[in-house]
Amino acid sequence: MSFEKLGLNQSILSAVRKKGYENPSTIQAKAIPQILAGRDLLASSQTGTGKTAGFTLPMLQLLSSRTLGKKRPIRALVLTPTRELAAQVFDNVKTYGENLDLRSTVIFGGVNQNPQVKAIRNGVDILVATPGRLLDLHNQRLLSLSQIELLVLDEADRMLDMGFVRDIRKILALLPNKRQTLLFSATFSDEIKKLTKEFLNNPAVVEATPESTTVEKINQRAYQVDKKQKSDAIIDLIAGGKWQQVLVFTRTKHAANRLTQKMVKCDVSAMAIHGNKSQSARTKALAALHSNEIRVLVATDIAARGLDIPLLPHVINYELPNVPEDYVHRIGRTGRAGASGEAISLVSVDEIAYLKSIEKLIGIDLPLEVIAGYEPTEKPGDIQKPKGNKPNFNKRKPKSNNRNFRRKPRN
């Protein structure tokens, strides 16, 4: 498959060539023709598979195919969850659109709004925005969304995770009903399907799941370990095996923080990334792992999602994900210069059901093994749950403005 065959015009193709891409990625090859045909679209594929160009290229083509009035109302809106992602998308729009007569700008919170307002006043065809700043400027009547023809919800799963669903609903209510809507996501969860039903009109659905051969190539092992032994066991594995560049996944940010602290105490250099850390802090931590400044990066699924993670020799699931697809995303990060990497899961007795649904999804049996010295003793009833996510009001003394007592989105 080549970019030429996807129906893109010469101006766009030459920008793509300049960028150095030879062939479209799977998700690009599947998504681009559907978008050019004018259809609503739900597209899901792992992080790092080129979703940005997957919507940017056809968006540019659709917009440039119609001549524009002088006023340039906003015709395309791209929503992203964070300012860093908004800036990345905007960069892509500029790069691929350099040969076209289209204008674009980006708006996000945390900075002075005046330059953003000025850019919009000058007329833009494409607006890339985070939901909060967009609503803010709209409420001040500084922009109009009444001429939107194309809406892109990028990283839609992260937007949901970050609690943006109400903002998204508000924004959708401001858009014309007659429009094309594209939803891009790294996962294909029930929540994403619900959002799709609510906002998309008879969408084409395209997916690029990692090839099963990739999963098969990874050396996967599952160890049954008692919950209260897991932190000692993982430190022993990493220190004993003299492993470098280890990516560890936890389910919650609390677990990520706790485990990181314990590792550092035991002289295993580590950093944590999760939803409370900024994108730039996450990128820095990843760079530190890659350059061997630290040995271990402890991440939640959400934190890992927006990152372009290079292949690493070791991935450890400290806790299994409760969404089996996340397991595939996690272990897809292992591998080393052509050779296969190693993915290890520490499974406590209460997680065996998660392991079963993972085995079903990947079509591979992962027999439970035992780490010498960490033979499991816990029985299903021994483990209290759920810990960490829900505050226990009886145990802790409430402080007047303690935000931790409010329910927050899971990360």
- Chain residues binding ligand ADP by CB under 6 A are 21, 24-25, 28, 47-53, 308
C-beta of 93: minimal distance to ligand ADP in Å? 12
Whether omega before 386 lies within 30 degrees of 0, making that bond cis, reads yes
Nearer to Mg ion, 51 or 75 (CB): 51
Dig out the tokens for 292 from the structure.
């061997």
Nearer to ligand ADP, 53 or 268 (CB): 53
Nearer to ligand ADP, 129 or 263 (CB): 129
Nearer to Mg ion, 54 or 97 (CB): 54
Residue 313 contact, options Mg ion, ligand ADP, none, Cβ 5-8 Å cut-off depending on partner type: none
According to the binding rule CB under 5 A, does residue 305 interact with Mg ion?
Answer: no
C-beta of 267: minimal distance to ligand ADP in Å? 34
Residue 365 contact, options ligand ADP, Mg ion, none, Cβ 5-8 Å cut-off depending on partner type: none
**Unique residue bearing structure tokens 């992203």:** 80
Residue 81 contact, options Mg ion, ligand ADP, none, Cβ 5-8 Å cut-off depending on partner type: none
According to the binding rule CB under 5 A, does residue 227 interact with Mg ion?
Answer: no
What is the pairing mode between strands 219-224 and 368-369? parallel
Measured distance between the N- and C-terminal CA atoms of the chain, rounded to whole angstroms: 38
Q: Do residues 268 and 295 lie in contact, with contact meaning Cβ atoms separated by under 8 Å?
A: yes
| Total site size for Mg ion, rule CB under 5 A | 1
C-beta of 155: minimal distance to Mg ion in Å? 5
Dump the DSSP string for 164-176. Answer: -HHHHHHHHHTS-
C-beta of 184: minimal distance to Mg ion in Å? 7
Nearer to ligand ADP, 26 or 181 (CB): 26
Using the Cα atoms of residue 173, residue 129, residue 78 and residue 118 in order, give the sign of their dihedral: positive
Residue 279 contact, options ligand ADP, Mg ion, none, Cβ 5-8 Å cut-off depending on partner type: none
Nearer to ligand ADP, 28 or 348 (CB): 28
Rounded Cα distance between 343 and 307, Å, is: 19
Dig out the tokens for 63 from the structure.
């917009």
Q: Which residue is nearest to Mg ion (CB)?
A: 51
Of all helices (H) and strands (E), which one includes residue 150? strand 150-153
Residue 180 contact, options Mg ion, ligand ADP, none, Cβ 5-8 Å cut-off depending on partner type: none
CA distances from 14 to 11, 29, 97 (A): 5, 17, 10
C-beta of 305: minimal distance to ligand ADP in Å? 8
Nearer to ligand ADP, 157 or 319 (CB): 157
Q: Do residues 79 and 153 lie in contact, with contact meaning Cβ atoms separated by under 8 Å?
A: yes
According to the binding rule CB under 5 A, does residue 51 interact with Mg ion?
Answer: yes
Count of other CB atoms within 10 angstroms of residue 373: 9
Residue 48 contact, options Mg ion, ligand ADP, none, Cβ 5-8 Å cut-off depending on partner type: ligand ADP
Nearer to ligand ADP, 85 or 349 (CB): 85
Q: Among the candidate windows 49-57, 223-231, 253-261, 378-386, which touches Mg ion by CB under 5 A? A: 49-57
Q: Do residues 26 and 6 lie in contact, with contact meaning Cβ atoms separated by under 8 Å?
A: no
Give the residues across from 105 on adjacent strands.
Answer: 127
Which residues are CB-neighbours of 359 under 8 A, at least 6 positions away?
A: 365, 366
**Unique residue bearing structure tokens 């403005």:** 401
Dig out the tokens for 303 from the structure.
């934190």
Binding site for Mg ion (CB under 5 A): 51
